[in-house]
Amino acid sequence: MSHRASRVLRLDALARVEGEAALHLTVHDGTVTGTRLRIYEPPRFFEAFLVGRGHHEPPDITARICGICPVAYQMTSCQAIEAACGVTVDGPLAELRRLLYYGEWIESQSLHIHLLHAPDFFGHPSAVELARDQRAAVERGLRIKQAGNAVMEQLGGRAIHPVNVRVGGFYRVPGPAELAPLARRLRRAHDDALETVRWVSGFDFPDAAFDGPLLAMRDPGRYAIDSGTPAVLAASAGSDGAAPVTPFRVEEFERHVVERQVPHSTALVSELDGHPYLTGSLARYAVSGRWLHPSARGAAREAGLGDPAAGAVCRNPFRSIVVRAVEVVHAVAEALRIIDAYEPPARPYAEVPPRRATGRAATEAPRGLLYHRYAMDADGTLTLARIVPPTAQNQAAIEDDLRRQVQARLDRPDEAPGDAELTALCERAVRNHDPCISCSAHFLDLTVERG
């Protein structure tokens, strides 16, 4: 270890996140004076790729933004195009879309819980070591993930970058008999998901709190995923949910959420009404927890998250793994509800004729609120595309969370942290938020400067 006054820490790559980034911390006289989450993955230019393409093309193109959450990009792009064209997709087609989206939630959240996040709570460097210690739990998580993949394969044509989604609906819709095998797998997955909540609720959670504003979709009466309007739970130092929830129209999104370029990142940094904010599982639970499926609400209470029906809020990023597990219970239960009530639509898609207009939409990707805006000419040629992914929105909040975590550790004068301890702390703090760096680029090489 080098001298404390000039110590520099380096970690060439952060494991168990999607993409590449670096963290630069500056510490002076025991105080963290700067945090920079440097997302250095090259810009992807998807917004530029979309300009000049036809209005039916965004679902297939945007699905390639992410191999873990392609449905989120497909659903949001479809809804934005349909909004521009004045078309609303409802009834069985909307339910099938929601079923496909739940399939992605199930597989993505289970992947994060069991393979990316849980190893941190057991001191293991990877899921391989975790499986040696917690074999039954990892196998359970893989079964849940496989059930989600099966939903995506059935409705999307394949589990990665689905090809059956189109503007207006699907190229082909299944018959009830084709969904019956999914229901059998999902019933087993529901039991597995409840057991996963019990498992993760027993982890040892450090004390932490994000007290800034939380942003999520809100659709009174349901736990919003592909419907509703953006809503903000105001900043609060407490966790009793007393802060007001304020919705705003999706057309006002860019008035409230302002992106700016920073020199140290290829992802734009967002602020909500001038403040860092958090989107994702904690925000969804805070804004819409009372509308979780009854089995998920019961699991939340059993896990110590409080009563979501009474507006309970969780602001501890380390406990996000518990909230994600509860969301998996909800997604599985709702997927079963849709399958049980399913009646095939008369047509697999609604016609979406082009017109000169601008359309906007937002949905809830597993990692948080995802926003799209498209403008098109009268023939459907796109003239503008704007995509605001959740990880980019969370970048400033992650930097603030890292500063708080490291400062709290440095404030213990009798327990001077070593290089390895600070590095592990930063990795855990980043993984709490399940960042998808590849989506955000438009982690972890760690450097700490002390002086």
The string of DSSP letters for 190-248 reads HHHHHHHHHHHHTS--------S-EEEEEBTTB--SSSSEEEEEPP-SSSSS-S-EEE-
Mean pLDDT on 303-318: 95
Write down the pLDDT at residue 13. Answer: 47
pLDDT grade, residue 428 (50/70/90)? Answer: confident
CB of 12 within 8 A of CB of 427?
Answer: no
* Distance, C-alpha 211 to centroid of its chain: 19
Query: Given a cut of 70, is residue 419 above it in pLDDT?
Result: no
Q: How many CB atoms lie within 10 A of CB 294?
A: 10
Please state, for a pLDDT cut of 90, what percent of the chain lies above it: 66
Write down the pLDDT at residue 43. Answer: 62
pLDDT grade, residue 269 (50/70/90)? Answer: confident
pLDDT grade, residue 440 (50/70/90)? Answer: very low
Query: Given a cut of 50, is residue 8 above it in pLDDT?
Result: no
Query: Given a cut of 50, is residue 406 above it in pLDDT?
Result: yes
For 84, 219, 284, 310, 313, the CA distances from 211, given in Å and listed in that order, are 36, 23, 15, 20, 11
Tell me the pLDDT of the chain averaged across its residues. 88
Label the pairing between strands 229-233 and 245-247: antiparallel
30 φ/ψ sector (left φ>0, alpha ψ -120 to 50, else beta): left
Write down the pLDDT at residue 232. Answer: 97
The pTM score is 0.90
Write down the pLDDT at residue 430. Answer: 84
Q: How many CB atoms lie within 10 A of CB 183?
A: 15
CB of 289 within 8 A of CB of 214?
Answer: no
pLDDT grade, residue 401 (50/70/90)? Answer: confident
**Which tokens hold the place of 353?**
């004729």
- Collapsing DSSP states into helix, strand and coil, what is residue 441? coil
